[in-house]
Amino acid sequence: MGNSEKTWTAALAVIGDEILSGRTQDKNVAQVATWLNDHGIRLAEVRIVPDDMERIGETVNELRAAHDYLFTTGGIGPTHDDITVDAVAAAFGVPVIVHPEARRMLEDHYRNRADGLQLTETRLRMARVPEGAELLPNPSSGAPGVKMGNVYILAGVPYIAAAMLGALTGKLEGGKPVVSVTVGARAPESDVAVLLKETEDAHPGVAIGSYPFFKDGRHGSNFVIRSEDGDLARATGEDLAERLREAGFDPVEGGL
């Protein structure tokens, strides 16, 4: 799916005062990162920004220039503090318009609802887009996401963001997905730091991450080997397991 020589990258801007205040816990970073990796795109950077036009605009312009793709989550609902569309439009130097197709989607969604909800002027705010934008289908609730250049504006509600990502599946160009292999051991991280570095150096094209834990009164670590080459990742896992054995540790494939 694209040129494997190139490393495709994306950034994510998580927008909302409620995330920064701790009132809402973000769940979108993990699901966006996983979805991107399935498309051979690395989530290289995440920023959390407040509901502030200038801050959102600065972040959008910086990240869309630095990466192949920029995703934003949050701030596209019907209320006055949902300003992501306005901020992105300002960043691109274009006005905000009501997209006729988005209006139609909302009209369809609110027509003859059993709960009696109507399409009010407030809810119609969700049809606003930067001029020149495309719509992203949203199978789960009437309001669509928005694509502007290489910027993808998603909802902040995780299940709605997931639906928008689902509608995008297979439509973004990327490289090879990263394959992960995990080896665990009751080995304190500091005891195997040199061994990990030697293993990584012996296998160009892999990265090894170390994730220490403490459970059942004992220290241990999971070592995650990542590579675009699945065979290389698996071979490195076997090599790491053998080195851990030689160092007196009992490796566990798949991690602890």
CA dist 72 and 83 (Å) reads 12
Tokens of 82: 């949902």
Average of per-residue pLDDT values in the chain:
93
DSSP category for residue 172: S
More confident residue, 121 or 185: 185
pLDDT by residue (tens digit) across 247-256?
999 999 999 8
Q: What is the mean pLDDT of residues 123-141?
A: 91
- pTM comes to 0.82
Domain regions of the chain by residue span: 8-168, 179-253
Question: Which residues is 212 bridged to in the sheet?
Answer: 221
CA dist 127 and 77 (Å) reads 10
More confident residue, 159 or 119: 159
More confident residue, 123 or 73: 73
Q: pLDDT band at 3, cuts 50/70/90? A: very low
More confident residue, 217 or 1: 217
Q: What is the mean pLDDT of residues 26-47?
A: 96
pLDDT of amino acid 12: 98
pLDDT at 2 over 60: no
CATH number of 179-253: 3.30.70.260
Angle at 94 between CA 106 and CA 11, to 5 degrees: 80
pLDDT at 1 over 60: no
Let me know if domain 8-168 sits in CATH 3.40.980.10. yes
Name the residue with tokens 């920029």: 70
pLDDT of amino acid 195: 95
Q: What is the mean pLDDT of residues 163-185?
A: 92
Q: Three-state DSSP class for 149?
A: coil
Angle at 97 between CA 82 and CA 12, to 5 degrees: 45
More confident residue, 49 or 4: 49
